[in-house]
Structure 1
Amino acid sequence: MKILIQKQQTEQQRIVINQIHDFNNKVLKGFNKFNDTLQKLIKDNQNWVEKKWSELEKKWKKKMEYTMQLLKKKKINGSSLLKMSKKDLMDIFETFSHACLIHDSLVQLCKKYPVDVIIFDNDVSQEGIPKKYLCPLPHSIMNDPVIALNQIIYDRSSIMNRYQEISNYSSLMTDGTLELYPDYALQQDIQNFLKNSK
């Protein structure tokens, strides 16, 4: 009797295991189908974006060529553009919306790239480097920015070699060890800045 019950239980377990196995296979097949569909949609979307971007670039290039010709014809340079009001631009350009767009773009550029930068001649020649990218010890651009316990960001090699130059440098340490935390976001910003400056 016991053997019969064990056989029935074993058979039921085998049936359940087979059902789970079949279900897992269906899920995997469904996932593969979903993944294939998703990859196709991603590729189609990328192609669509590239096509639209190409069209936009062509339109933008034509508008820029027209604007450059107009600026040359009117003998307008960058410094005079910055001093112009919307009304001045409206006198030069034919449509109000075009004038407003150019004025607003110039204002946005001035806000995005303020002139309060330091000129640095080492790796990036004649480019303005934002102060936040410079290590306060050697005043050079940081390769590996780290945050010290005093909440100041230094280049790792500079702080490790010159931390004793900082007043109250013992506050940067825990149990005699210099505590530094990587600032990956700033490191990425600096790398992007350097890449775009070349």
Structure 2
Amino acid sequence: MLHRAGRTSWKRFAAVLAPSVMAAAALGVGMAQGALAASFLISGQKFQVALDTLDVRGLSIYSLVDVTRNGTLVPVFVTGASHAEIGGLCQSVVVTIPVLGPYTLRVTGGERRRVEAKNLFLDATSLSSTQANFDDLDIGVAAGAVSKGPISREDRKSRFFDPNGFAQQADSAFLTNVHFTTVAVSAATFNVPDLDVRLRQGHHECF
């Protein structure tokens, strides 16, 4: 029987997030033994995504293993949103340029009008929020039975996806001061008002 709650704080939710990462690690072992095959390749470069507010309708969180081009395994938890409205978007990645040293590519938007996204997926290694509220939250649902939030079509077809694995879902969620450390982000649509892209010398990360 699934645990249900009307509104749940992030601290309580975070306490049960660890099993997702452990499940992802187990999937990684399976791939190393030849039982799994990668569905796509990532660069492996971690980058930051900071959001002043994240308002989600249709939330899913499930474990997965991403793989780099050279075969490195990267356990992640995927946060999916059927529809998301974002206030104060910041995305940053630090790259090292030969001779010149580190430069930060920083993308911002959504300061005056909200960013809107549909079928948004963030493959993350960490997530924090100063406050998070969830409506009609289910913790411990099987990943293959998630119905309130989206599962990436590519992930569902992949051998990395365990339909019996640990997952969470909620009808809606609202988070403030959100910090993701991610290795991949994808969306069916991603509309960013007031987009600003800058490359600056040195370290100028979002957080």
TM-score (ref. length: structure 1): 0.22
Which is strand-richer, 1 or 2? 2
Larger Rg: 1
Which is helix-richer, 1 or 2? 1
